[in-house]
Amino acid sequence: MSGSRTGTGSLLWRHLSARPAAGITVAVLVLLLAALATAGPRAVAVLNDAALGYELGRLSAPERDLVDEDPQWPANGPSESGETGYAPDVEAALGGFAEALERVRHEAGDSLRSALGTGKYILRSGAVPLVEAPRELEIGFAADPLYESRVQFIEGTTPRPIPPLPMPLTGDDWANFDPAQFEIPPMEVALSAEAAARMGWAVGEARTIMYMSNVPVPAERHVVLSGTFTAIDPDDEFWDHATSILDPFVFDDGNLPPTVTGTGFVHPGTIYGLGVHGQGAGTKVWFPLATDAITVDNANAILAEVRKYTSVGHTISTGRLDYGIRSVFFTADVIPPLELALERNAATNAVLAMTAAGPLGVGAAVLFLGCRMIATGRGSALRLLSARGASGRQLRRLSAIEGLVVGVPAGIIGVALGVLLVGGAFSPLQLVLPLIVAIAPAVVLVALSGSVIESIHRTDVDTAGSGRFRKIAELVLALLAVAAVIVLLQRGLTTSASTVGIDPLLAATPLLLSLLGCVLALRLYPLPLTALHERARRGNPLGSFLGTARALRDPSAGLVPVLALVVGVSVAISSVILLSTLRTGVDTAARMQVGGDLQVSGSSFTIDQHEQLTQVDGVDVVAGISGAEPATLDVAGERGNATVFVIDGGAVRQAQGDQPGLLPPGVDLAVQEGQPVPILVSSSVADDIDGRTELRLNSVPVEVADSVGGITPIGARANWIVIDRAAFDLMFDGTSSNQTFLIGLSDSASTEQVVSSIRALLGDAVRIDSPASVSAAFDRSPAVSGLQAALLLAIAITALLSTIAVVMTLVLGTASRERLLALLSTLGASRRVGRGLIGWELGPIAVTALVVGSLLGVGLPFVVLAGVDLRGFTGGTLQPAYAVDPLVLVGALLGFLLATAALTAVSLMVTRRARAATVLRTVEEG
């Protein structure tokens, strides 16, 4: 029995199980840090996928899919395989084109092809007037080989095949041609129930169009409405491409009666007998892009393949026919949103990497302090083993075993917890950081094993430095930090992480600056402390004298606790400032986009509607913005196309108020007699003008009043010119109708009530935006909300770790403090002296952390704004400006002070329980 109790395993167990508190504390730290190290990268991956999916999911089908619009119809003919799934007559006409499209789809790269659906297309004719009401009703014809699977007829039947046309006349027949004897058979068309109702067309009724194909003179042709239908699935994305079929197009500029244009389906197998073309005829082809198949892992590959696929034409037919589509050239409006989503993800990763560097440094510091607690507790045992002949290798091996026992099981549990907390795919690379955390206690304990067996000696703070190595290390650190900042500022904004991953320079700069701040703090820290000690020695305050002397002789403020607290304060302050900066940037961009208290768009508005809006309760002013008017801009003899918007400058200024909007401060577009017309231009147009003053717009002399960059109420156009309505008559013929209204509200108006009144007046089809609604919609983006949550989480984690660092610092000083307090108690010192010692032990650290950490926290956002493109988080096209919310900033500092005071109170309560006799009997004062 006795042998088993003295065996190696038994002795090792007794050694490890003695004083377990420090080991348990480190194990809990390892568990938490391993869980965070596992969950963090997984959470970022999930966030990136969610942000990418959100941005792509907001796109309409035409914005997302690969689209080609060709002015011709495909050559008619069957497919070679006959396996298109079309009806026989449709297969005979369009089967060859469908088969060619599938061949073209397979020309895409592997990643892109996996995300592309089967090609879809629709053939259209141009719209032609109905003879019965040529200025009010128009009809267009369309053919979809699968239209019967998309609609359900509520009245009538599907259109019958189009009858064949009469043979064209020869030259010998011209002299005796009689149009009355040239009969063109009627044809059938199917309209949506909505279109038929708006056009007043009953099933079975015949209307008349002018027919011009294959006859020498215009002739009439009857069109019979065979039936009306509704969509089986109105939300089917097919209808986003096949516009004006379910709902007719209505043009109403307020000056003439509205024109209703309906588009109906004809029999797809015989559309080539239609004979009606005209403006707008052609074929629209698209490949649906499945956004759920695009992930962060394949997004860059798909983006590259989309660019390549849309840069060239794809052959449809190599025949020698003189008609039909020969090649298709696809466009992809999805490229800019996909690029923006990837750039936003890259910016998110960059900000998170910079933010995570702080908690990572604090976590390492706290883990080191925990290992110091273990090593300090094992000091007497290790010294005894060394005195009895244990070699340095055996002592290091014993320390390593204890570190592995403490760290590895806790690390495994932490990894499992991190995997359970955050879903997503698992990658072996996710184990690298948790593995480092798990084995860190063993490495640190081995490194500390040599120092703990040495004799206890004084650790006076050396105000002159502690040797050449320290000076060299500090100089290298300073050079690295300064170089990192300089390179970052010279390089400017970057989102290269979208292709190369986390930018090491961005991630390392905040931590380098934090370390430099700690070095400066430790260099400057002893100076005021020494002055206070000298002052206390000349006076008679025992607590101050002992507190400063002890702080100089046995300082708690080593590099590790100072680093923890400085980084904790800096992360809290910098995160708060970044949140304020993003919030201000979002609100400013939203106001710039709306241009007033409300923006109404989505239709061509009449003069009467403009007048009715001004009568709505709560509306102070209504400013109209016209649709895009094509014009010619002459710059010193160089002529080019221009897009002009017409505004009422005074009303826009009143609706905009003092807030950001369309008109820059001080800009007046009023026309002055005998002077060039002032114009407002986009920054892109200003770059093209390049300071030249010989300008004419539609032959009228103009001058640039100012230029505007970024988002505006006009929309997403990059090249535009704005003129006052008084200048319109000088440059254009006819009239212009407003397509956007900027509305200014009275101070007492309720936005919700005004919006409700506007919808009652204009209908639900119009779009009404306010700065608040635009900001709220942008905040719903996973990238924005995720970044805000990550910054708040970083504050919480860093505060927790910093608090633990303070507690551990106090615990590490417990033995020395208790010896001194026990001695002072024996000599009759009051409890006030003991409280003063605690204050001097903790106070310098807290003050140092507040000063250095605050300065660092205020400065770090400048580094972020200089190195990370945050425009994707605000919705604007300009980098958000540095912004500070004083109340929130003061609240963060007060929170740190309150936490420090609470910890001091807890330490005092623990200290009062020290038994003087026990301490003096068991511990020798060194």
Q: Give the angle subtended at the CA of 719 by the CAs of 715 and 721, to the nearest 5°.
A: 85
pLDDT of residue 910: 54
- 46 and 118 assigned to the same domain: no
**Residues in a beta bridge with 742:** 599, 623
- 321 and 350 assigned to the same domain: no
Closest CA to 360 of 611, 113, 564, 80: 564
Q: Which of 329-338, 388-397, 420-429, 825-834 has the highest mean pLDDT?
A: 329-338
**For 3-25, what is the mean pLDDT?**
66
Q: Based on C-alpha coordinates, what's the Rg of the chain?
A: 39
pLDDT band at 199 (very low <50, low <70, confident <90, very high): very high
**For 373-396, what is the mean pLDDT?**
78
pLDDT of residue 797: 83
Distance between CA atoms of 371 and 794, rounded to whole angstroms? Answer: 24
Distance between CA atoms of 262 and 72, rounded to whole angstroms? Answer: 21
Count of alpha carbons within 13 Å of 9, Cβ hemisphere only?
2
Higher per-residue confidence, 531 vs 110: 110
Q: How many CB atoms lie within 10 A of CB 315?
A: 13
Q: Judge whether residue 540 has pLDDT over 70.
A: no
| Token digits of residue 224 | 């019979």
Provide the 3-class DSSP secondary structure of residue 856: helix
Domain count for the chain: 3
Provide the 3-class DSSP secondary structure of residue 769: strand
CA 47 to each of CA 38, 40, 291, 341, 352: distance values in angstroms, whole numbers, following the listed order: 15, 10, 16, 12, 11
pLDDT tens digits, one per residue of 693-734: 889 998 899 999 988 877 788 876 778 899 998 888 888 877
Q: Judge whether residue 217 has pLDDT over 70.
A: no
Helix, strand, coil share (%) of the chain residues, nearest 5: 55, 15, 30
pLDDT band at 85 (very low <50, low <70, confident <90, very high): confident
| Token digits of residue 521 | 């703090």
pLDDT band at 924 (very low <50, low <70, confident <90, very high): very low
Q: Judge whether residue 921 has pLDDT over 60.
A: no
Distance between CA atoms of 801 and 738, rounded to whole angstroms? Answer: 59
Q: Judge whether residue 151 has pLDDT over 90.
A: yes
618: CB partners within 8 A, 6+ apart: 745, 746, 748, 749, 750, 753, 754, 757
Provide the 3-class DSSP secondary structure of residue 671: coil
Residue 78 is assigned to a structural domain of this protein = yes
- 352 and 461 assigned to the same domain: yes
Distance between CA atoms of 796 and 436, rounded to whole angstroms? Answer: 23
pLDDT of residue 232: 94
Count of alpha carbons within 13 Å of 214, Cβ hemisphere only?
15
Residue 836 is assigned to a structural domain of this protein = yes
Across 318-332, b (16+ Cβ under 10 Å) vs e yields: eeeeeebbbebebeb
**For 19-23, what is the mean pLDDT?**
77
pLDDT band at 319 (very low <50, low <70, confident <90, very high): low
Are 138 and 320 in contact, with CB atoms under 8 Å apart?
no
- 743 and 760 assigned to the same domain: yes
Residue 141 is assigned to a structural domain of this protein = yes
Q: Which residue's entry shows tokens 């090249």?
A: 719
- 564 and 609 assigned to the same domain: no
**Residues in a beta bridge with 156:** 227
pLDDT of residue 377: 75
Q: How many CB atoms lie within 10 A of CB 466?
A: 10
Across 841-871, b (16+ Cβ under 10 Å) vs e yields: bbbbbbebbbebbbbbbbbbbebbbbbbbbb
Closest CA to 324 of 71, 98, 118, 141: 71
pLDDT of residue 45: 86
Distance between CA atoms of 233 and 58, rounded to whole angstroms? Answer: 20
Distance between CA atoms of 814 and 842, rounded to whole angstroms? Answer: 12
**Residue 325 CA to chain centroid, in angstroms?**
40
Residue 4 is assigned to a structural domain of this protein = no
- 375 and 321 assigned to the same domain: no
pLDDT band at 216 (very low <50, low <70, confident <90, very high): low
- 440 and 490 assigned to the same domain: yes
**For 424-433, what is the mean pLDDT?**
79
- 685 and 700 assigned to the same domain: yes
Provide the 3-class DSSP secondary structure of residue 749: coil
The alpha carbon torsion through 196, 201, 206, 207 (nearest 10 deg) reads: -90
**For 562-573, what is the mean pLDDT?**
80
pLDDT of residue 494: 55
Distance between CA atoms of 600 and 740, rounded to whole angstroms? Answer: 6
Closest CA to 570 of 735, 802, 263, 841: 802
Instruction: At 796, give phi and psi (nearest 5°).
Output: -65, -45
CA 393 to each of CA 201, 372, 383: distance values in angstroms, whole numbers, following the listed order: 99, 19, 14
Residue 7 is assigned to a structural domain of this protein = no
pLDDT of residue 621: 92
**For 349-357, what is the mean pLDDT?**
81
Q: Judge whether residue 173 has pLDDT over 60.
A: no
- 355 and 303 assigned to the same domain: no
Instruction: At 315, give phi and psi (nearest 5°).
Output: -70, 130
Distance between CA atoms of 344 and 339, rounded to whole angstroms? Answer: 8
160: CB partners within 8 A, 6+ apart: 188, 226, 267
Query: Of 771, 789, 812, at which residue does a domain stop?
Result: 771
Higher per-residue confidence, 85 vs 920: 85
Closest CA to 34 of 513, 556, 416, 334: 416
pLDDT of residue 827: 63
**For 763-769, what is the mean pLDDT?**
85
Cα dihedral across residues 842, 844, 850, 855: positive or negative: negative
Lowest mean pLDDT among 121-135, 511-525, 567-581: 511-525
pLDDT band at 168 (very low <50, low <70, confident <90, very high): low
Cα dihedral across residues 241, 242, 248, 249: positive or negative: positive
Higher per-residue confidence, 184 vs 404: 404
**Residue 185 CA to chain centroid, in angstroms?**
59
**For 154-162, what is the mean pLDDT?**
93
pLDDT tens digits, one per residue of 639-697: 888 889 999 888 999 998 888 888 888 888 988 888 899 999 988 888 888 888 889 99
**For 356-374, what is the mean pLDDT?**
83
- 828 and 706 assigned to the same domain: no
pLDDT of residue 2: 46
**For 252-269, what is the mean pLDDT?**
82
CA terminus-to-terminus distance, the chain: 40
Q: Judge whether residue 614 has pLDDT over 80.
A: yes
The alpha carbon torsion through 139, 142, 148, 149 (nearest 10 deg) reads: -120
- 738 and 676 assigned to the same domain: yes
Lowest mean pLDDT among 240-244, 324-328, 587-591, 810-814: 810-814
Lowest mean pLDDT among 280-289, 327-336, 446-455, 767-776: 446-455
Residue 641 is assigned to a structural domain of this protein = yes
**For 215-220, what is the mean pLDDT?**
60
Residue-number span of the structural domain to which 258 is assigned: 63-165+183-334
Q: Judge whether residue 279 has pLDDT over 80.
A: no
pLDDT of residue 918: 42
pLDDT of residue 121: 94
Query: Of 334, 349, 371, at which residue does a domain stop?
Result: 334
- 88 and 234 assigned to the same domain: yes
Lowest mean pLDDT among 116-130, 458-472, 807-821: 458-472
Task: Report H helices in 378-391.
Answer: 379-387
CA 168 to each of CA 125, 213, 322, 323, 448: distance values in angstroms, whole numbers, following the listed order: 21, 9, 18, 18, 102
Query: Of 771, 803, 828, at which residue does a domain stop?
Result: 771
pLDDT band at 923 (very low <50, low <70, confident <90, very high): very low
**Residue 571 CA to chain centroid, in angstroms?**
22
Distance between CA atoms of 595 and 873, rounded to whole angstroms? Answer: 20
Q: Judge whether residue 200 has pLDDT over 90.
A: yes
How high does pLDDT run on average in the chain? 80
CA 162 to each of CA 96, 154, 271, 815: distance values in angstroms, whole numbers, following the listed order: 20, 22, 7, 101
Residue 142 is assigned to a structural domain of this protein = yes
Distance between CA atoms of 739 and 737, rounded to whole angstroms? Answer: 6
Residue 58 is assigned to a structural domain of this protein = no
| Contacts by 293-301, CB closer than 8 A, 24 or more apart | 293/114, 293/115, 294/52, 294/53, 294/56, 294/115, 294/338, 295/49, 295/52, 296/45, 296/48, 296/49, 296/52, 296/345, 298/111, 299/52, 299/338, 299/341, 299/342, 300/342, 300/498, 300/499, 301/109, 301/111
Q: Judge whether residue 196 has pLDDT over 90.
A: yes
pLDDT of residue 626: 87
Distance between CA atoms of 192 and 243, rounded to whole angstroms? Answer: 12
Q: Give the angle subtended at the CA of 321 by the CAs of 96 and 316, to the nearest 5°.
A: 40
pLDDT of residue 663: 87
pLDDT band at 839 (very low <50, low <70, confident <90, very high): low
pLDDT band at 521 (very low <50, low <70, confident <90, very high): confident
477: CB partners within 8 A, 6+ apart: 512, 515, 516, 519
Distance between CA atoms of 525 and 539, rounded to whole angstroms? Answer: 22
pLDDT of residue 919: 41
